[in-house]
Amino acid sequence: MSSNPNNQPWIITIVLALISAITAITVARINNSSNQPTPTPTSSNQPTPTPTPTNQPTVSPNVPIIYLIDNSGSMGKCSILDNQGKCVKDAEKPYKVDNAKSAVLQKIDPQLSGADLIDRKIGLVEFGNWQDYGDPNIKNLQGEAKSILQCRAVETRVEPELNNRDKIKQELEKIKPNDDGVTPIAYAINYVLKNVLDVDIDNINVSAQIVLITDGEPNCDNEGQMGLCGTISVLKASTVALEPWFVDIIGHKIKTKKEENEFEQCAKKHPKFVTYHGNMTTRDELFNKLDCVSSYPGQCKPF
């Protein structure tokens, strides 16, 4: 028995409706897929986030920090000498003392890297430039008498205080490279403890960090056999503070390994009081080491 042709149109209508519905569903799925955000590809060239330091300072956060800047002749206009031993002025710019000033200035600026020093007292001491702040009688003296007074050329630029960055900036500007001057490091450290931190040298009960920037070993003959390490030994024996003072020595463009020997030997002999951080040959190296030493006292690796 054959189908009635008059009944077929309704079947066609149902088929067409099913096709239309399937088509609509497919289109909707395609549109929905195209609207999804494209995932960002992972690239090996993406910068790695800086990890949070785990080496926390071993000293109290309120321990004052004193920046002790060497401004002897070799840090300034006498960094290079001619065959007759005279200064070749302007041969090396910026001078080493300029790099030291620049590094300290950058470190204390809270907008750059000094935010971690906001709660610490900061002081600034300069030594070696006897022509600016030495005994006025030096120019009239000769020989040993002159040498003794040159070796006492130390100047407190800024007393250690809170919120004194503007004052330190002003005083840093006043430090000018000079063309003469010895390097009385031992005397300068003794001076900081006695005159800046105002302690009894025979009964030292103070916690403090002294950051020394220098280009060479102490060379004051009148300090005799005591020298830097002998001075540290005496001061150490007089120290009664549970959390004592200590000196971070940062070398900058030291010419020979021999000149570093006294720093290295003293650091080995008195590791709780002296750390020698090596010889920084560029201004950026100097700042990076100064940044680490200032932010993580007692924790920054020497080399």
Q: What is the pLDDT of residues 202-239, one digit of tens each?
A: 999 999 999 999 998 787 865 555 788 899 999 999 99
pLDDT of the residue at 220: 82
Q: Which CATH architecture has domain 65-295?
A: 3-Layer(aba) Sandwich (3.40)
pLDDT of the residue at 201: 87
Closest by Cα among 223, 63, 207 to 152: 223
List, in order, residues 6 or more apart from 191 with CB less than 8 Å away. Answer: 125, 127, 154
Neighbours of 263 (CB within 10 A): 28
Strands 154-161 and 246-252: unpaired
Helix, coil or strand: residue 120: coil
Closest by Cα among 151, 214, 183 to 72: 183
pLDDT of the residue at 240: 92
Are 260 and 254 in contact by the 8 Å Cβ rule? The answer is yes
Instruction: List, for the chain, all residue ranges whose pLDDT scores fall below the cut of 70.
Output: 1-61, 114, 221-225, 303
Q: H/E element holding 66?
A: strand 65-70
Give the end-to-end CA distance of the chain in Å, rounded to a whole number. 104
pLDDT of the residue at 144: 77
pLDDT of the residue at 33: 44
Q: Tally the residues of the chain.
A: 303
pLDDT of the residue at 105: 95
